[in-house]
Amino acid sequence: MKLELHKIMVKRLVWGEATTVRDGVLYVNKQELISLISEDELLGKVDVDLAMPGESVRIIPVKDVVEPRWKIHGKGQVFPGLVSDVETVGSGRTLVLSGAAVVTAGKIVRFQEGIIDMSGPGAAYTPFSETCNVVLLLEPAKDGMDKHDYETACRTAGLKAAAYLARCCKSVKADKIVAYNHADIKNAMWGHPGLPKVGYIYMLQTQGLLHDTYLYGVDVKKILPTLISPLEVMDGAIVSGNCVSACDKNSTYSHQNNPVIEEMFKRHGRDFNFVGIIATNENVTLADKKRSSSYAVNLAHMLGLDGVIITEEGFGNPDADLIMNCWKAEQLGIKTALLTDEYAGQDGASQSLADSCPEGDACVTAGNANEVIVLPPMNKVIGVVEEANVIAGGWNGSLAADGGITVELQAITGSTSELGYTKLGAYTI
């Protein structure tokens, strides 16, 4: 498989008569975009706003972030099974509006949504303070609407908007083309003799109650762990539909730009053979956790993997899935490296994870989500600022009279991403 990402670099957003890109500026036809989103009868009031890096702007409450993309050549189309036909992706040429993002916001679906500050101390904790954000302000068609229906409408709106923006730019010449190749399993394992065979166990949030993730449009809680190509992930096969805490919610954007996959590609053929990805779920019952962890590790064993990287999404209950995957793999002689975050209390003195095991001795942290931060007032708020008093990481009284907000990092979108898609981190060479 070969995937080319044709990247158009977006440095600024402007309203325009036609949606297109010229000289690094993404012009957006506001009314055309609103009309497209308003086609969904589940949505009531719909609006669109723009937010640029460095501006005194706060977006709250944030549901998802999506990178605008459109398939310009090859099989399948973006976000398969949700806004396009169910066809395998991961090959051909995909247009990317790099530096731009669609942010879904507006009336809250569930309290586990987040904040993006485009400047100030909060901006230092979210990667989406550095993207040019097209913000969709969404409200349900009626009060009392089923939250699952409202979440579906918000998720679909974000995906449709992202596809629309990129599709309108499909004739624009890319500024940069990045090509990725991933061989079949046999060649991936043995293409570089003598190097260890390494895979990636990709844990996806699937606890239900609006804690959901979709693979080719299928709710991942309904599947057994499955083997997929990293190029499928990079090409939009995985979409977020969950309302877990904003700090470690894997947004659709972070799935599209998963840094673990990116780094494993860089080291393939140099330090190890990157064999592939085992996508697995995070269930609620003990029986489901046992089933999925055993099946995921068995797949790794059948592939003859020497090591696996395991990433988590969420905290608490999913910690049990993380540790089951870890010690079952280690028992079969498969070395593990874990990527998680911590909920160690506001003073950092509490137990970081809900579960652990002696075998989990190679663990990378993305930070303590309970750390408290004070966000100063912004000149402009896109959304509903009063939700600061109810979102996860906030509390009644988080919102000050002057518009400032005191919250835990838990409330800041992507601040402790367990994919490593965060501004807190370090590289070793």
Find tokens 């083309």 and name the residue: 177
Which residue has 């797949």 as its token pair? 299
User: Which tokens in the block code for residue 138?
Assistant: 């969404």
Alpha-carbon distance of 230 to 402, in angstroms, equals: 46
Catalytic residue status for 243: yes
Q: Are 40 and 161 in contact (CB under 8 A)?
A: no
What is the helix (H) or strand (E) element at residue 163, kind and residue range? helix 147-167
CB 322 within 8 A of CB 310: yes
| CA dihedral sign of residues 244, 247, 248, 254 | positive
Q: Do residues 3 and 91 make contact, with C-beta atoms less than 8 angstroms apart?
A: yes
Beta strands in 320-408, from DSSP E residues, in sequence order: 335-342, 363-368, 372-375, 380-383, 405-408
423 Ramachandran zone, left/alpha/beta (phi>0; psi -120 to 50): alpha
Q: Which of 132, 168, 243, 326 is catalytic?
A: 243
Mark residue 427 as left, alpha or beta (left: phi above 0; alpha: psi -120 to 50; beta: remaining).
Answer: beta
Q: What is the DSSP letter of 373?
A: E
Closest CA to 168 of 86, 100, 91, 237: 100
Residues belonging to the active site: 243
